[in-house]
Each structure stands twice: as structure tokens, then as C-alpha cells.
């Protein structure tokens, strides 16, 4: 009898698989409408503070469970957000403004900074030491990805090497160079959103497993997936084009779609380009650019932005901000004037 019951269940499961859609199954979180869930007046248990788990909440939760009571379903479902920032480029006082607007990094307020922390702006040392400090303080809740400016040749041209030598020593710059080589190149959020500084690849067929195998502890090569992750840009037309930067490529919406389908992702977030509004949505919403250095180089007049992603649906929420005053030190004062090749 037990065998017959099991056999019936196995056949039922096989039938369900056979008639299932070929499309990717939606995650349970896709069906949740957390924002519109209401907490009834009679509920007196622990509640999240502005959607965040706090120490006070956890203590109340443990006491609540100890009394064999149930946490409200809205609190049980609700997840924290992560804030994604683009290029900061040595604009330390604008970095401080991000923390003023969005709160300091913490266990309940995680951040991801998407490369290009240094060069151009003349407070790159202050930016990178602040970011490294928070990485040490919250190693699992504060993330830094490498940009094309976390490389020796760019630092020599666009100011970071000169700034470090002026404020510290050549040995200090060598240490920064070593650390930059260990920075991750990409980060995947909930197996749905891939974040990188530059963009996608000069050839089709690159998988997430391929990215994990990249030997990143080096200066980037002039071609290949590591180079593309740091240097490529999206373009509106299908296909690929030679990059205006002279390295890597420009990739179209068809390239993005094929990559996402192959790797079962929803969209990518990248930085690397100044945008008038601080962000730009392209490729039918599949490619998002975020840039977090307002009034870039004190002359572009652009807004900046950061993005909130919430685990409930990973729908991006854009928050714009403008530049704040800084001490009278011009951008690029530490740059090598003989080697500058234009804005990159």
C-alpha cells in the first residue's frame, strides 16, 4: 500500500513537470504585496522601525516568541534594502552627503559602491579610506566593486597616485595598488541582478561561472571578460561597436537580452558614465546606469543618484541629489598633465 501511494505521488509530480511552463518559475516574493499589508490595531507585538531590524526589535521579538506569540506576517516577510552607488571619483563631501541623506552604513543599512572611488576629484584619499573603514567595520554588509580607475595606469594619469604621494608616500600608493587588485569585479543580488562597473562582453556565451573563474588579482588586460567588466558601455542599437574609449566595446540591447536569458537574470546595474539625471534606464529596463558624483569635476552640472533595491521585488528605486560645497581644491590638481587623455 505504501509503495502504491508513493508511486501515485511520483506519477503526479512527473505529470506536473510535464505540463509546467518552460518559462522560469516566479519567485514567491514576486507575489507578495508587502507595502499594502496592514498591521491591525490589536497587534501589540514587535514592529520594524522604518522597515529595518534593530537591536530593540530583536530583543522584543525574542521576548514575544518566548511568550509563544506570533510575529505579524508583514514583519516576517519584510526585508531590508541595499543601497547601490555609482562613481564617487574623489568627491568626498558628496560622499558624506550620501550618508547624510541615506544614513550611515550599518548592519541594517547595507551599501554597494560600484567602482571608481578615486581619481579626478582631489579628495580621493579621504574617500577610499572612509570606504575601506566601513568595509572593515561591516564586512558582510558593505561592498566595494572594482572600477576601471582602481588600476595603476589610470591612477598615474588622473590623480590618485599623485595625491597619495603628496599626502603620504610612494609606498602607500603601492599598498593601495595591491588592495585594488583584490576587489571583486561583480556582485549578484538574489540570483536576479548582476552589478558591475562597466558592462557586458565583447563576445556572447559568458556565464556567471566564467566570471567566478577570472583571476582578478592583477592589473586588467587589454581585452577579455575582466577588461569588459571594467570598461564596456551600452549602446541603443543592436549588436556591438568599437568603444569610444579605445578599449573593450559598446553592446546593444540584444546582447544584454541574450546574456540575461543565458544566466537567468532580470537586469544589470552598471556605472562608468556620467548622466545628467544621475541615472539612466536603457535596453527596455534591462540595463541601468547609476552615477553618484554630482557636478562631476566641478563642471558637468549633472545630478547624481543612488538606487535602493529591496528583497521583496528588486524593483529599483532611484534617489537623486545635487552637489554640496567643498574646500577650494580644484579637481585634477594631482593629475599628470602630460598624460591626460580626456574624460574616461
- Are the C-beta atoms of 224 and 198 separated by less than 8 Å? no
CB count within 10 Å of CB 171 equals 9
| Cα distance between residue 54 and residue 206, in whole Å | 40
| Cα distance between residue 259 and residue 210, in whole Å | 12
| Cα distance between residue 271 and residue 310, in whole Å | 19
Is residue 255 classed exposed, middle or buried when 0-12, 13-18 and 19+ CB atoms within 10 A define those classes?
buried
Concerning whether 272 is annotated as a catalytic residue, the answer is no
Beta-carbon contacts of residue 185 (< 8 Å; ≥ 6 apart): 145, 146, 196, 197, 211, 214, 216, 226, 229, 230
Q: Which residue has the cell 550620501?
A: 98
| Cα distance between residue 307 and residue 281, in whole Å | 12
CB count within 10 Å of CB 43 equals 15
Report helix, strand or coil for 268: strand
| Cα distance between residue 277 and residue 319, in whole Å | 10
Beta-carbon contacts of residue 110 (< 8 Å; ≥ 6 apart): 80, 81, 82, 83, 138, 141, 142, 143
Catalytic residue among 141, 149, 272, 283: 149
| Cα distance between residue 312 and residue 48, in whole Å | 15
- Are the C-beta atoms of 81 and 308 separated by less than 8 Å? yes
DSSP state of 187: E
CB count within 10 Å of CB 80 equals 16
Q: Which residues are catalytic?
A: 149
Amino acid at each position: 500500500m505504501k509503495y502504491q501511494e508513493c508511486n501515485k505521488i511520483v506519477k503526479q509530480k512527473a505529470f506536473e513537470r510535464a505540463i509546467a511552463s518552460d518559462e522560469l518559475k516566479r519567485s514567491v516574493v514576486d507575489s507578495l504585496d508587502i507595502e499594502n499589508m496592514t498591521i491591525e490595531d490589536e497587534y501589540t507585538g514587535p514592529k520594524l522601525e522604518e522597515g529595518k531590524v534593530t537591536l530593540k526589535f530583536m530583543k522584543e521579538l525574542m521576548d514575544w516568541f518566548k511568550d509563544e506569540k506570533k510575529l505579524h506576517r508583514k514583519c516576517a516577510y519584510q526585508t531590508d534594502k541595499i543601497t547601490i552607488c555609482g562613481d564617487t571619483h574623489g568627491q568626498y563631501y558628496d560622499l558624506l552627503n550620501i550618508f547624510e541623506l541615506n544614513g550611515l552604513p550599518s548592519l541594517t543599512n547595507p551599501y554597494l559602491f560600484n567602482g571608481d572611488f578615486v581619481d579626478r576629484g582631489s579628495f580621493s584619499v579621504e574617500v577610499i579610506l572612509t570606504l575601506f573603514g566601513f568595509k572593515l567595520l561591516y564586512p558582510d554588509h558593505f561592498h566595494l566593486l572594482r572600477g576601471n580607475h582602481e588600476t595603476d595606469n589610470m591612477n598615474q594619469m588622473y590623480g590618485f597616485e599623485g595625491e597619495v604621494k603628496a599626502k603620504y608616500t610612494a609606498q602607500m600608493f603601492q599598498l593601495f595598488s595591491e588592495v585594488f587588485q583584490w576587489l571583486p569585479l561583480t556582485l549578484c543580488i538574489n540570483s536576479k541582478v548582476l552589478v558591475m562597473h562597466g558592462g557586458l562582453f565583447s563576445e556572447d556565451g559568458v556565464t556567471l561561472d566564467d566570471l567566478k573563474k577570472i583571476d582578478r588579482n592583477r592589473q586588467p588586460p587589454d581585452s577579455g571578460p575582466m577588461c569588459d567588466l571594467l570598461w564596456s558601455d551600452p549602446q541603443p542599437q543592436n549588436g556591438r561597436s568599437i568603444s569610444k574609449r579605445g578599449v573593450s566595446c559598446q553592446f546593444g540591447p540584444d546582447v544584454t537580452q541574450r546574456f540575461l536569458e543565458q544566466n537567468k537574470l532580470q537586469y544589470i546595474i552598471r556605472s562608468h558614465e556620467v548622466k545628467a539625471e544621475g541615472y539612466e534606464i536603457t535596453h527596455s529596463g534591462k540595463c541601468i546606469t547609476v552615477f553618484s558624483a554630482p557636478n562631476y569635476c566641478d563642471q558637468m552640472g549633472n545630478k547624481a543618484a543612488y538606487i535602493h533595491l529591496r528583497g521583496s521585488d528588486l524593483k529599483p528605486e532611484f534617489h537623486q541629489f545635487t552637489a554640496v560645497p567643498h574646500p577650494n581644491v580644484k579637481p585634477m590638481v594631482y593629475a599628470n598633465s602630460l598624460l591626460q587623455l580626456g574624460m574616461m
